[in-house]
Structure 1
Amino acid sequence: MTTIDLNADLGESFGRWTLGDDEAMLDVVTSANVACGFHAGDPRGLLRVCELAAERGVVVGAQVGYRDLAGFGRRFIDLDPADLTADVVYQLGALQGICAATGTTVRYVKPHGALYNAVVHHRAQAEAVVEAVRRVDPTLPLLGLPGSALLDAAGAAGLATVTEAFADRAYTASGTLVPRSEDGAVLRDPDAVAARAVRMVVAGEVEAADGAVVRVGARSLCVHGDSPGAVSMATAVRSRLEAAGVELRPFVTPSD
């Protein structure tokens, strides 16, 4: 049977600013990319989302990003690699502590937003992220875009890698994501996104924004938790995948 992990970015509310419905999303996804407080998330909220994930058996991953609360981590920052390594180490330590207090563990690492896009091609920043993971816990897999500098650097360092595809994001013909600044970069139709997800998982391909067919080989599929209608979209994706005979399960176990 074909299997796939379904992940979403969660824990991104801050204080009185509520973003998404984490509790409902945790009933749908198999892995949660939990914010670490730099681009989003506050301690109480992160504690709660990790508690809920532990109760549901959802795997927790650390969603590390630039220190950019105002920009939600979606603005590139030209950091010195040593600073980026330290920032990622700090974020991993914070989420590890929260997980320890809630009966779960950090099981993988995924960059967020502008950092995710940067480490597709930015070798120095990719290596800085890998170095942070290696120093904190070299058993943690890195989740990223196929062919990215991040996954290349992680493999060279002996770290496990997991390839990812995006059900609700438009692709370029080269297999990268269309920048959010461009029209149509984020897809909104649940039925279209669900059909796209099945094609990605079953056929291993996706139609790019220009109509080209792009090969995608992914072990994890992302649906964004902060998009309007995120819960209904994630539910449609899961239902359509299961109807196509795909089994949804995390790529790692919830705990050691």
Structure 2
Amino acid sequence: MACIDLNADLGEGFGRWRLTDDEGLLSIVTSANVACGFHAGDPATMRRVCELAAARGVRIGAQVSYRDLAGFGRRAMDVPPAELASEVAYQIGALEVFARAAGARVAYVKPHGALYNRVVRDEEQAAAVVDGVLLADATLPVLGLPGSRLLELAAKAGLPAVTEAFADRAYTDAGTLVPRTEMGAVVSDPEAVVGRSVELARTGSVVSRSGTRIEVRARSLCLHGDTPGAVDLAQRVRRRLEESGVDVEAFA
């Protein structure tokens, strides 16, 4: 039987502003990537999401980012490796406080936005993220793009490397994500997203933007929580996966 984890970016609010329907998505996903305050999130939001996730048995992941609240962590930044490692560890540690208070633990780490894309190819920045994870907890799995420098270096450092796919993002022929600045980077048709989810889980492949079938073998599937109708779409994805014989369960 095919098996897949469903993860979503949650806690992406700040103060009175909320972007994601955390309660709705936590009733569907098996892993929650919780914003740790650098691209979104604040202490109250982190605590609330950890409590909700722990109550539902959803794994809590630290979604670490460049320090970029104004740009939602999606702007390219050049951060010295030692500084980046410290900031990654800082974010994990902050979330761990609230996860423990809720009776759970931080179960994995996933970079966000510009940092996620940067560590696909940038060895120095990828190594800094790995160093930050090791500083916080040398047993934490790292979630990232198949074939990325991040996962390669994480595995070399003894960290569990977990591959991830995106049903609602277009892929290049090289297996990387089409930049959001380019037209067609986001797949907006709900039925297409549902179909791609099943395809990725059952075949480990997807059709790239050019029409070429490429291999994308992943243990986890990301469902973006900031898209319109995210909860309804997540429900449809999970239901179709289960109807197709795919076992939906957390990887951590």
Number of matched pairs: 252
Task: For residue 20 of structure 1, report the CA deviation from its aligned partner.
Answer: 1.6
Residue number in structure 2 paired with 1:41: 41
Residue number in structure 1 paired with 2:214: 214
2:39 and 2:198 map into 1 onto residues whose CA distance is 31
Residue number in structure 1 paired with 2:81: 81
Task: For residue 37 of structure 1, report the CA deviation from its aligned partner.
Answer: 0.4
Deviation per residue, 1:91-122 (Å, 9 max, x gap): 01100111111111100000000000000001
SS of 2:87 mapped into structure 1: helix
Task: For residue 209 of structure 1, report the CA deviation from its aligned partner.
Answer: 0.6
2:178 and 2:232 map into 1 onto residues whose CA distance is 23
Unaligned 5+ runs, structure 1 = none
Residue number in structure 2 paired with 1:232: 232
Residue number in structure 2 paired with 1:64: 64
SS of 1:78 mapped into structure 2: coil
Residue number in structure 2 paired with 1:194: 194
Task: For residue 184 of structure 1, report the CA deviation from its aligned partner.
Answer: 1.4
2:30 and 2:156 map into 1 onto residues whose CA distance is 28
Deviation per residue, 1:199-237 (Å, 9 max, x gap): 111111101111011101100000101111111111111
TM-score of the superposed pair, with normalisation by structure 1:
0.97
Please tell me whether residue 164 in structure 1 is matched to residue 196 in structure 2: no
2:182 and 2:247 map into 1 onto residues whose CA distance is 33
Residue number in structure 2 paired with 1:136: 136
1:38 and 1:246 map into 2 onto residues whose CA distance is 35
1:64 and 1:201 map into 2 onto residues whose CA distance is 26
Indicate the percent of aligned positions where both proteins have the same amino acid. 62
Residue number in structure 2 paired with 1:32: 32
Code of the residue aligned with 1:44 in structure 2: it is: A
2:153 and 2:16 map into 1 onto residues whose CA distance is 38
1:136 and 1:197 map into 2 onto residues whose CA distance is 33
Unaligned 5+ runs, structure 2 = none
Task: For residue 123 of structure 1, report the CA deviation from its aligned partner.
Answer: 0.4
Task: For residue 76 of structure 1, report the CA deviation from its aligned partner.
Answer: 1.2
4+ runs deviating over 4 angstroms: none
TM-score of the superposed pair, with normalisation by structure 2:
0.99
1:129 and 1:121 map into 2 onto residues whose CA distance is 13
2:32 and 2:187 map into 1 onto residues whose CA distance is 20
Cα pair 1:84 1:129 within 8 Å, conserved? yes
Residue number in structure 2 paired with 1:126: 126
Cα pair 1:40 1:69 within 8 Å, conserved? yes
SS of 2:162 mapped into structure 1: strand
2:164 and 2:218 map into 1 onto residues whose CA distance is 5
Please tell me whether residue 101 in structure 1 is matched to residue 98 in structure 2: no
Task: For residue 149 of structure 1, report the CA deviation from its aligned partner.
Answer: 0.4
RMSD: 0.7
2:239 and 2:180 map into 1 onto residues whose CA distance is 27
Task: For residue 186 of structure 1, report the CA deviation from its aligned partner.
Answer: 1.2
Residue number in structure 2 paired with 1:15: 15
SS of 2:93 mapped into structure 1: helix
2:97 and 2:51 map into 1 onto residues whose CA distance is 12
1:66 and 1:121 map into 2 onto residues whose CA distance is 16
